[in-house]
Structure 1
Amino acid sequence: MVYAAYLTICFIFGTTFLAIKIGVDEGFPPFLSAGIRFFVAGLILFLWMAWRKKASFSLLLKKEMMITGMCLTFGTFATIYWAEQYISSGIAAVLCATAPLMIVIIQTTVLKQKSSRLGFIGCVVGLLGVVLLTLPSLKGEMHVNWLIGCIVVLLGQVFYASGSVYMKHISHRMGDASPVTLNAAQMILGGLMLIGLSLVTEPVSFEAFSSVPAVSSVLYLIVVGSMIGHSLYYWLVIKTGPVFPSTWLYVAPFIALTLGVLLYNEFFSWTTVLGGLTIVAGVLMVNANHLLRLLRKSPVSKTTSYQ
């Protein structure tokens, strides 16, 4: 069951980037699309947890959750949705794999935490991968908006990394709230911020709601991407710990690249693949110690201790 759930989240998270791209290309305003997705998904999950007596509405008023929602949902996905107007879904997915590198950079530069030599080398390797990934733009083969889109996605990963570090720092203040409840709360608040951003930056238009592909993409992202995908992810965190589920970052980008090329005729070059492999190699080096500990203890054997 653990491995089945893991393969499922890898596939789901790999498909969400193409779903975002379809919705944006069909004319759905990016910020509105992201806001609806996360607000609706978060609200349904939160109400479900409240019905089970595992969520308190006072959680939505905590500044910690507002900051988390601003980083993990608002900042992360406002940038991804906006950027996918100009870059392919596969490129967006690979660039999102830099999140662990951003976490290490923040921990060492802002929090002044010591990093291992291998972790430092991993960051350098990962950033080299980003350069390889953006080579078509640097050679003048892509439009300038393509390069800007790549930079914006990387900025979003700084938001994500900041939110992750902050959430780890303040998790003890959240009492006994489950990870699913905390995630639902930050999705609600981040979704509201995205809708607010849409109201002040995007023209009011209901044409996108008449597009079957656009509406289907939003529904898919709400139900499959956010509700099922994230719930399975946090179930795996409970069953196995945080390291094993997070390895989806090494698999999903290449699923996204493949789907984008095969189903959506997206741009493909060997520098893209090389850049993606280099980024993943850097992330593997950054997480080497955690992964070695994971290999010594099978996720399935650890699951039995919870039963």
Structure 2
Amino acid sequence: MQKGKTPASLYLLLVLVMASWGLNVTATKVLVAHFPPITMTSFRIFTAAVAVFIFLIAIGKFRFPTKRELGFIAAGSLFNIVLHHYFLASGLTMTTGTNGGLILGIGPILTAVLAAIFLREIISGVQLIGLISGLLGVSLIVLTGGQGLSGASLGDIYVFIAILSQCFSFIIIKRVARTLDTRLMTAYMLLIGSVFLFGTSLVEEPNGLAQMGGHSGMMWLLFLASAIFATAFGNLIYNYAVGQIGPSKTAIFMNLNPFFSLIGASLFLNEQISWMQVLGFLLIIVGVILGSGALPELIRARKRIRTPRKVMDE
């Protein structure tokens, strides 16, 4: 960890990122109803890239990557931005929200398995309990959301490819974190990914550019909020955490996404929250505390607070 950056503050930032990503699901539902999806996504990611580059230049962290680092950046962009966003957008149009949510819910476990294979990270018993608890929580939230669980479809395969691509990108990010600031890598990944997605949009949405105009100021404000808060700084903080505490511990926070998405749908789309979904949220909280390693950090922090008091009393 960097000096001045305590684990507790990083965990709090990750919770805020999950809140922005969860609420962004609601924002995206609104945006794709007005903009062509792939074209809009490429513009949103490009806007996010510009925002991250401005931030990095302001704090003096910008530099050009080496040839070796550029290879990792290209690979990370392919898996994290291009494949993930393309297959997720395509898959969700061909499957139910329940199926999609459950498949996305295996992200933390999938990340932990990939980290064990490629990074030789050890999955502890406590972490495994946390992963299972989080998955159960996600299942309760998604399965009680009003849509039935359907049989496997091509859409399900696409969503699985989307989450597998994203999880594999976390391994790439961790590998290059030793030499390249993951925040800078995020900026380059967003920029390269937006270019590839824009090229895809020209083929799949020939009239996409023409359809981007003529929208209200409120709609563009929502677009900017999604691009800057969720995409730019959400990805920047998340990828930074991957480099600091590892992909498997960071990924456990992804389980919070369905809950914050549920909150957004309740606040802005008037959807109802059931008691089973509240129970699912509690299981997710347990899963995050156990699976992320936050519990030992909290215990150590509490001991550090108590020790000076004892010294002062003596």
TM-score normalised by L of structure 2: 0.69
User: Counterpart of 2:115 in structure 1: which amino acid?
Assistant: Q
Q: Give the corresponding residue for 1:68.
A: 76
User: Is residue 167 of structure 2 the alignment partner of residue 164 of structure 1?
Assistant: no
Structure 2 gaps of 5+ residues are: 306-314
Q: Give the corresponding residue for 1:305.
A: none
What CA distance in whole angstroms lies between the structure 1 residues aligned with 2:60 and 2:50? 15
Structure 1 gaps of 5+ residues are: 303-307
What CA distance in whole angstroms lies between the structure 1 residues aligned with 2:186 and 2:129? 32
User: Following TM superposition, by how much is the alpha carbon of 1:132 offset from its aligned partner in structure 2, in angstroms?
Assistant: 4.9
- Write out aligned runs for 1:250-265 (5 A): 251-265=256-270
User: Is residue 217 of structure 2 the alignment partner of residue 209 of structure 1?
Assistant: no
Specify the SS of the correspondent of 1:295: helix
Q: Give the corresponding residue for 1:218.
A: 223
User: Following TM superposition, by how much is the alpha carbon of 1:257 offset from its aligned partner in structure 2, in angstroms?
Assistant: 0.4
Specify the SS of the correspondent of 1:22: helix
Specify the SS of the correspondent of 1:209: coil
User: Following TM superposition, by how much is the alpha carbon of 1:33 offset from its aligned partner in structure 2, in angstroms?
Assistant: 1.8
What CA distance in whole angstroms lies between the structure 2 residues aligned with 1:200 and 1:284? 44
User: Following TM superposition, by how much is the alpha carbon of 1:65 offset from its aligned partner in structure 2, in angstroms?
Assistant: 0.2
Q: Give the corresponding residue for 1:32.
A: 39
1:233-286 residue CA offsets vs partner (Å, 9 max, x unmatched): 678x59xx6489877545453222022123114476666555565556555543
Gap change, CA 1:126 and 1:148, over 3 Å in 2: farther
Residue from 39, 58, 62 that aligns with 1:55: 62
Task: Work out which of the two has the higher radius of gyration on C-alpha atoms and give 1 or 2.
Answer: 2
Specify the SS of the correspondent of 1:172: coil
Q: Give the corresponding residue for 1:186.
A: 189
1:194-245 residue CA offsets vs partner (Å, 9 max, x unmatched): 222222223423234323365343222122223344556678x59xx64898
User: Following TM superposition, by how much is the alpha carbon of 1:136 offset from its aligned partner in structure 2, in angstroms?
Assistant: 6.9
Which sits farther off after the overlay, 192-201 or 248-257?
248-257
Gap change, CA 1:30 and 1:208, over 3 Å in 2: same
User: Counterpart of 2:173 in structure 1: which amino acid?
Assistant: M
Q: Give the corresponding residue for 2:203.
A: 200
1:8-39 residue CA offsets vs partner (Å, 9 max, x unmatched): 5454333211111111122x222222211112
User: Following TM superposition, by how much is the alpha carbon of 1:295 offset from its aligned partner in structure 2, in angstroms?
Assistant: 0.8
Q: Give the corresponding residue for 1:286.
A: 291
Native 8 Å contact 1:93 1:257 kept in 2 = no
What CA distance in whole angstroms lies between the structure 2 residues aligned with 1:259 and 1:198? 28
Which sits farther off after the overlay, 90-99 or 36-45?
90-99
Gap change, CA 1:64 and 1:136, over 3 Å in 2: same
1:178-200 residue CA offsets vs partner (Å, 9 max, x unmatched): 33212111111122222222222
Which sits farther off after the overlay, 215-224 or 268-277?
268-277
What CA distance in whole angstroms lies between the structure 1 residues aligned with 2:131 and 2:201? 34
Question: What's the C-alpha RMSD, in Å, of the aligned pairs?
Answer: 4.5
User: Counterpart of 1:211 in structure 2: which amino acid?
Assistant: H
User: Is residue 49 of structure 2 the alignment partner of residue 46 of structure 1?
Assistant: no
Native 8 Å contact 2:20 2:229 kept in 1 = yes
Gap change, CA 1:227 and 1:282, over 3 Å in 2: closer
Count of residue correspondences: 290
Native 8 Å contact 2:102 2:142 kept in 1 = no
Specify the SS of the correspondent of 1:189: helix
User: Following TM superposition, by how much is the alpha carbon of 1:86 offset from its aligned partner in structure 2, in angstroms?
Assistant: 7.0
Specify the SS of the correspondent of 1:115: coil
Q: Give the corresponding residue for 2:111.
A: 103
What CA distance in whole angstroms lies between the structure 1 residues aligned with 2:298 and 2:201? 44
What CA distance in whole angstroms lies between the structure 2 residues aligned with 1:77 and 1:111? 25
Residue from 4, 9, 15 that aligns with 2:23: 15
Percent same amino acid among aligned pairs? 20
What CA distance in whole angstroms lies between the structure 2 residues aligned with 1:114 and 1:242? 13
Native 8 Å contact 2:111 2:167 kept in 1 = yes
Gap change, CA 1:179 and 1:173, over 3 Å in 2: closer
Native 8 Å contact 1:16 1:221 kept in 2 = yes
What CA distance in whole angstroms lies between the structure 2 residues aligned with 1:293 and 1:273? 25
TM-score normalised by L of structure 1: 0.70
